[in-house]
Amino acid sequence: MSNLSVVLKRELASYFATPVAYVFIVIYLIMSAVFTFYLGGFFEREIADLEPFFRFHPWLYLFLVPAIGMRLWAEERKFGTVELLLTLPITATEAVLGKFLAAWLFIGLALVLTFPIWITVNILGDPDNGVIVAAYLGSWLMAGGFLAISACLSAATRTQVVAFILSVVVCFLFLLSGLPMVLDLFRGWLPQAIIDGIANLSFLVHFTSISRGVLDVRDLLYFVLVIGFWLAANRVVLELKKAD
């Protein structure tokens, strides 16, 4: 068994060893249902699709994903177990990937458990299930982006609360960067190419495109690069802390 799989199984099992996993899943499912059927006006729209369901995912993840990511490394550093972990015969890369993949799979499980909402839509009408599958994929990728940011910031501090706040702030900036009210702040004194670059950093822009059923390689590559960048930064932070 590879070191990566050992770390992954250890971390994944740790979620269900405490009530944390069950509390997170219950909160996620309840909030998803409330946002879809009440705030999203699901029945009032009289359209058989999951647009109201996915519309709130970025804002739901903004708080729930950092709540999962904040403990990945901050807890290890607080109790001094990160030094023990890194002295084991595993590389920092394996530790980072193992922890991230375990948390990402856990979030994916919570997302899969929303399938009754999908079934409800199919009972009530004839939705485009291809679009729904694409939206689920986009949602999971976006959650991975949030999680990679949260994991990196968790490694930079010993306090979970600080890690949570920093993660929410940074993720919030990634959400807002593509909105017109943000881009208008830069118009007139920055070249259009830079403004377009800022807009392309937005999670909302890329997720919205995927949730409409458009699987553009650029959108998929964006989330892959965001995850890869922050995981690489996570590894660098760990190496720096280890050197200290």
How far is it, in rounded angstroms, from Cα 154 to Cα 161? Answer: 9
**pLDDT score recorded for residue 86:** 65
| Signed CA dihedral, 38, 44, 45, 48: sign only | positive
How far is it, in rounded angstroms, from Cα 13 to Cα 138? Answer: 26
How far is it, in rounded angstroms, from Cα 127 to Cα 186? Answer: 40
Which residues in the chain land under pLDDT 70? 1, 75-88, 241-244
**pLDDT score recorded for residue 38:** 83
How far is it, in rounded angstroms, from Cα 142 to Cα 78? Answer: 28
**pLDDT score recorded for residue 61:** 94
**pLDDT score recorded for residue 88:** 66
Q: Which two tokens stand for residue 82?
A: 């990160």
Quote the pTM value: 0.90
The values of phi and psi at residue 48, to 5°, are: -85, 80
DSSP single-letter state for residue 127? -
Domain extents in the chain: 3-243
